[in-house]
Structure 1
Amino acid sequence: MKTTSPLAYASYGLLGLPLAMAALPVYVQIPAYYSGQLGLALGLTGWVLFLARMVDTFQDPLLGRWIDRINGNITAWFWSGAAILALAFFGLWLPPVSSGDTMYLALWLAAMLIAAYTAHSMLNIAYLTWGARIDAGSGSHDQGLLGAAAWREGAGLFGVILASVIPSWIMSRPAATLSGDLASYSIGFALILVLAVFVLLKFAPAWQRNKNTETTPSWQATWTLMKAHQGFRQLLPPYFLNAISVAIPSTLALFFINDRLQAPSYAGAFLASYFIAAAIGLPLWVMAAKKIGVLCAWRWGMVLAIIAFCSAATLGAGDIIAYLIVCIAAGLALGADLALPPVLLAQLIRKDSSPASYFGVWTLLGKLALALSGLALPALAALDYQPGTPAGPALAWVYAGVPCAFKLVAFLLLTRIKTTQAGVSS
């Protein structure tokens, strides 16, 4: 059997770029944009983020179930998700309401967030399921999983670099050019998304359909199977806690840079260094996973992240170089968080199961973590923090100290999971 070519893996991985471009603004830049640029109150912004994410969270298992039922007939699915995501991305950056209409602005943000989250989930769950079903040809199944993950997350990291640098540059330009620049950025995103979906459907390794069953198992049967899967149950709690540890600093990064470090002009450079370091670290974590096992490599990534963010909690105004080092170290650790957990899940899924249903539950927990991270904003508002003013140590500890605690608990839970060289035991 012929081995899957790198070009086929690259064709699969390209969609990771626009999906990451859409995820970064929603998680990192939109809260600061609406509260800092458009004048939406910090607490209200946080509650809108939380409620919109909660609405989105519980639809993921249903979307996963739907994808399993269509069993590979996904062309219309991908094009529909891409169209909705492109329109929502445009709407998030260019709300058709004035900054003084607080309630209308909040309602518009909620509507666009729900649309963006739904479309992103449609694409991402199907995309991860496709990757879980990639066959390496004459290579092992695990080689196929790692190859797909490496290209997907590598393209995704390039996407987040673009999404961290371009909006930061746009925000630094004269206010008169803001709308035109954001419109151009949104149109550019839409073109990249269309290209990536076309390449995926045309040139990526074919979606491996479920040939072992003529019909998709009922939702009750699938849910019973997932609950009985010991390895799956063991993996979910540390994944969820780790997702919270990543989501909180993602939500607060720009606030920390602007008001704790008081270095807004360095925001683009900090974010770019973080994601460039992740891009450099990604192949290193993949190589480590091949040598010592996926789960063991992920644990070492957690250790590095804990060290980096514990250091960040001690930083204050003017600590530019120290925070740059933190960004590089945390970025290197991010590569493990991006590439390895989906591979662990894919290793657990039998080919005759319903993989999209598993990924639906998986992404539900990721979305729930993001929803909970939105509560950090009203919590900081209750601690008298206001965007645009010098921040005290409370922001530093919520941004870095709290995530360290979550990640440490996740690490301890992972140490209780038995592993083999191939992956996770079930």
Structure 2
Amino acid sequence: MRLFDTDRRVLTLAFARMADSIGNSFLIIVLPLYIGSGVVTGQTFGLGVALVTGIILSAFGFFSTALQPIAGYLSDRTGSRRIFIVVGLLILTVANFVYSLVDSYALMLAIRGLQGIGVAITIPSTVALVNEVTTDDSRGGDMGIFNTFRFVGFAAGPILAGSVVNGGPYRVAGLAMTGFETAFYIAALGSLIGAVLIMLFVEDPHPDEQDAEAGSDIGFAVFDHDHDTLIDPVFALGLALLTVAIGIALIEPLQTDINNHLDQGAQLFSIEFSAFIVAQVFLQTPIGTASDRYGRRPFILGGLIVLVPAMLAQGLVTTPIGMIATRLVQGAAAATAFAPGFALAGDIAQDGNSGTTFSVLTMAFTLGTAIGPLLAGYLISFGYVVPFAFGAVLSALGALLVYSQVEETHATAAETPGGAQPASQD
């Protein structure tokens, strides 16, 4: 682990992403409670309240998914990652704050869409910038550090959100605010802190050296015309990470079913949910660093293979401790795929095209977290084990894609002259 030797720009981007993740993950808990509190009223467009609520919550993911390739392409064309990150975070700041001012379903849907736009502008440029300030021999570790901080923020947000909402009302500097308003203000503050950190401490690495041909084509390749594989390796990797993201999100709408099946309460479910994130936090960086030494593909493939029994076991265990154990294994397997997967895409990305390249992976992950809950809510009607078995099948398909369509991209230490160790970064 090389945290203190990491480029300060990577650490700043990681801290900014953590602050933003805390704010955004607040809303995972707060928005359903806010919509169900009776504050939000108005026309439901002829749909049931529950369905409208689901549409509002899902709009974020679908808006973000659709726009990420465009945002990545534009950041490639301009050669300026920093301004896209800052603008996206400022949009999120405004959206998070405005939640406290609206009380209708239509406006909630509009703001949720605005959030999606802010994230779409931010994420591809952020990951591309991390990639561009790393070296081939440190990319896996740096991606691991970045993802670790992101998951720390993602884990901390829901834990804090419940306490903030239940602890209201508050009076700050003579101003009274409800628990919901306070939560929205904290979410806005998280995005604002991220924007300030980027403005103060991060610059584009080569602002005057943008390749004129970079990003000349919007979108990304689906089929590979340069190698023996059928599918473009980045697109294949994106599909594989899509299966991982769907598997992660399957558990979200199944809390009641899981609690009934395991005869447990909400507290144990929260521990089970958090077990996945704990594994991510502790393993992302060491696994990413190991991929710098031993190669990317073995870790990605191994993680996807382990996900198959880990996903299926969640539908078969009959005790809370069994569920916690399987969630830890799922988290470890996902961590084994994530950092090396992003590092592999960084190895492939051409100069000036990182935004478009990484938009494939970030779009896949966002889409997976959006459709996972919808799939789980539908599949549970066929039996308790069905959503988990479906997740296992998807993981197997992801492993098959990586095995057949993704080649190793990184020369390991043993393959370099004299078995040289990976270079450290100043």
Secondary structure (helix, strand or coil) at the match of 2:397 reads helix
What is residue 138 of structure 1 aligned with on the other side?
none
Deviation at 1:61, TM superposition (A): 1.8
Q: Which amino acid counterpart does residue 13 of structure 2 have in structure 1?
A: Y
Contact (CA 8 Å) 2:241, 2:364: kept in 1 or not? no
What is residue 174 of structure 2 aligned with on the other side?
none
- 2:202 counterpart of 1:196: no
What is the alpha-carbon distance in structure 2 between the residues aligned to residue 37 and residue 16 of structure 1? Answer: 30
Q: 1:149 aligns with which of 132, 143, 146?
A: 143
- 2:75 counterpart of 1:86: no
Q: Which moved more, 1:158-167 or 1:201-210?
A: 201-210
Q: 1:283 aligns with which of 277, 280, 285?
A: 285
What is the alpha-carbon distance in structure 2 between the residues aligned to residue 89 and residue 342 of structure 1? Answer: 28
Q: 1:397 aligns with which of 381, 386, 389?
A: 386
Q: Relative contact order (alpha carbons < 8 A, sep ≥ 6): 1 or 2 greater?
A: 1
Deviation at 1:340, TM superposition (A): 2.3
Map Cα deviations across residues 153-183 of structure 1 (whole Å, 9 max, x no partner): 1211210121231124446x37878x73333
What is residue 126 of structure 1 aligned with on the other side?
125
TM-score normalised to structure 2 length: 0.77
Contact (CA 8 Å) 2:344, 2:409: kept in 1 or not? no
What is the RMSD computed on CA atoms of the aligned residues?
3.5
Q: Which amino acid counterpart does residue 298 of structure 1 have in structure 2?
A: I
Deviation at 1:325, TM superposition (A): 1.6
Matching of residues 38-77 of structure 1 within 5 Å: 41-50=49-58, 53-72=61-80, 74-75=82-83, 77=84
Q: Which amino acid counterpart does residue 401 of structure 1 have in structure 2?
A: A
What is residue 219 of structure 1 aligned with on the other side?
217
Task: Say if 1:130 and 1:226 are closer, same or farther in 2 by CA, change over 3 A.
Answer: farther
Task: Say if 1:209 and 1:159 are closer, same or farther in 2 by CA, change over 3 A.
Answer: same
Q: Which amino acid counterpart does residue 390 of structure 2 have in structure 1?
A: V
Contact (CA 8 Å) 1:170, 1:181: kept in 2 or not? yes
Deviation at 1:73, TM superposition (A): 6.6
Q: 2:275 aligns with which of 265, 269, 273?
A: 273
Deviation at 1:62, TM superposition (A): 1.5
Q: Which amino acid counterpart does residue 158 of structure 2 have in structure 1?
A: S
What is the alpha-carbon distance in structure 2 between the residues aligned to residue 17 and residue 380 of structure 1? Answer: 33
What is the alpha-carbon distance in structure 2 between the residues aligned to residue 16 and residue 132 of structure 1? Answer: 15
Map Cα deviations across residues 103-150 of structure 1 (whole Å, 9 max, x no partner): x42x34422221111101111111011112114xxxxx2234224313
Map Cα deviations across residues 355-377 of structure 1 (whole Å, 9 max, x no partner): 21222333333333344335326
Contact (CA 8 Å) 2:284, 2:339: kept in 1 or not? yes
- 2:299 counterpart of 1:297: yes
Contact (CA 8 Å) 1:12, 1:148: kept in 2 or not? no
Task: Say if 1:211 and 1:284 are closer, same or farther in 2 by CA, change over 3 A.
Answer: same
What is the alpha-carbon distance in structure 2 between the residues aligned to residue 113 and residue 248 of structure 1? Answer: 23
Deviation at 1:45, TM superposition (A): 3.8
Matching of residues 90-109 of structure 1 within 5 Å: 90-91=97-98, 94=100, 96-97=102-103, 104-105=104-105, 107-109=106-108
Secondary structure (helix, strand or coil) at the match of 2:178 reads helix
- 2:411 counterpart of 1:422: yes
What residue ranges of structure 2 are gaps of 5+ in the alignment?
A: 41-47, 171-176, 413-426
Task: Say if 1:375 and 1:274 are closer, same or farther in 2 by CA, change over 3 A.
Answer: closer
What is residue 376 of structure 1 aligned with on the other side?
375
Secondary structure (helix, strand or coil) at the match of 2:407 reads coil
Q: Which moved more, 1:263-272 or 1:407-416?
A: 263-272
Secondary structure (helix, strand or coil) at the match of 1:350 reads coil
Q: Which amino acid counterpart does residue 284 of structure 2 have in structure 1?
A: L
What is residue 206 of structure 2 aligned with on the other side?
208
Task: Say if 1:20 and 1:249 are closer, same or farther in 2 by CA, change over 3 A.
Answer: same
Q: Which amino acid counterpart does residue 71 of structure 1 have in structure 2?
A: G
What is the alpha-carbon distance in structure 2 between the residues aligned to residue 283 and residue 124 of structure 1? Answer: 19
Task: Say if 1:32 and 1:270 are closer, same or farther in 2 by CA, change over 3 A.
Answer: farther
What is the alpha-carbon distance in structure 2 between the residues aligned to residue 404 and residue 248 of structure 1? Answer: 8
Contact (CA 8 Å) 2:234, 2:360: kept in 1 or not? no
- 2:396 counterpart of 1:408: yes
Q: Which amino acid counterpart does residue 129 of structure 1 have in structure 2?
A: A
What is residue 339 of structure 1 aligned with on the other side?
339
Contact (CA 8 Å) 1:260, 1:396: kept in 2 or not? no
**Length, aligned pairs only:** 389
Q: 2:254 aligns with which of 256, 259, 273?
A: 256
Contact (CA 8 Å) 2:141, 2:285: kept in 1 or not? no
- 2:159 counterpart of 1:162: no
TM-score normalised to structure 1 length: 0.77
Task: Say if 1:22 and 1:348 are closer, same or farther in 2 by CA, change over 3 A.
Answer: farther
- 2:321 counterpart of 1:327: no
Map Cα deviations across residues 394-426 of structure 1 (whole Å, 9 max, x no partner): 34431x221111111101111123325438xxx
